[in-house]
């Protein structure tokens, strides 16, 4: 399984990567720090999941990107915003599969990933 974690803060990327590898050791995890990197990388690898920070550089491209990417992969929106923030709500309406708050405990991260993975066989 191929997963791309996109966040401008390396600490969040590393934490998510550790959680993923702890529970899915076979996963190949890629990292990006800007939305521009995501747009470039998404054509190089067939991703099973994209975890996208809502506030990274280039995030003005996020809504349009999500609208296209949902046709090909699962998407989790990753943010320090509340899930009732209008931008988060809009991304879920567009078709993002889940919302994951940045301050989530490990159990919440894992359960969110399991939920998204259960939606489609990988």
Count of structural domains, the chain: 1
Task: State pLDDT tens for residues 41-99.
Answer: 788 889 999 999 999 999 898 999 999 999 999 999 998 877 777 888 999 999 999 99
CATH of the domain at 82: 3.40.50.2300
- Do the domain assignments include residue 44? yes
pLDDT surpasses 60 at 120? no
Whether residue 122 is predicted with pLDDT greater than 50 in this model: the reply is no
- Indicate whether 103 belongs to any domain: no
Q: Looking at the domain assignment, is residue 116 inside a domain?
A: no
Q: 18-56 as b/e, with b when 16 or more CB fall inside 10 Å?
A: ebbeeebeebebbbbbbbebbbebbeeeebbbbbbbbeb
Q: Is residue 109 part of a domain?
A: no
Domain that holds residue 15: 2-97
- Domain-embedded: residue 12: yes
The whole-number pLDDT of residue 98 equals 94
User: What pTM did the predictor assign?
Assistant: 0.91
Is residue 107 domain-resident?
Answer: no
């Amino acid at each position: 399984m191929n997963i791309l974690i996109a966040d401008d803060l390396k600490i969040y990327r590393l934490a998510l990567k550790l959680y993923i590898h702890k529970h899915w050791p076979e996963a190949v995890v890629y990292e990006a720090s800007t939305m521009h990197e995501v747009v470039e990388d998404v054509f190089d690898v067939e991703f099973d999941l994209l975890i996208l920070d809502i506030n990274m550089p280039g995030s003005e491209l996020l809504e349009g990107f999500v609208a296209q990417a949902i046709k090909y992969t699962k998407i989790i929106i990753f943010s320090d915003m509340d899930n009732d923030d209008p931008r988060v709500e809009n991304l879920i309406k567009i078709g993002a599969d889940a919302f994951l708050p940045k301050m989530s405990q490990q159990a919440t991260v894992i359960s969110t990933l399991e939920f998204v993975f259960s939606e489609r066989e990988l």
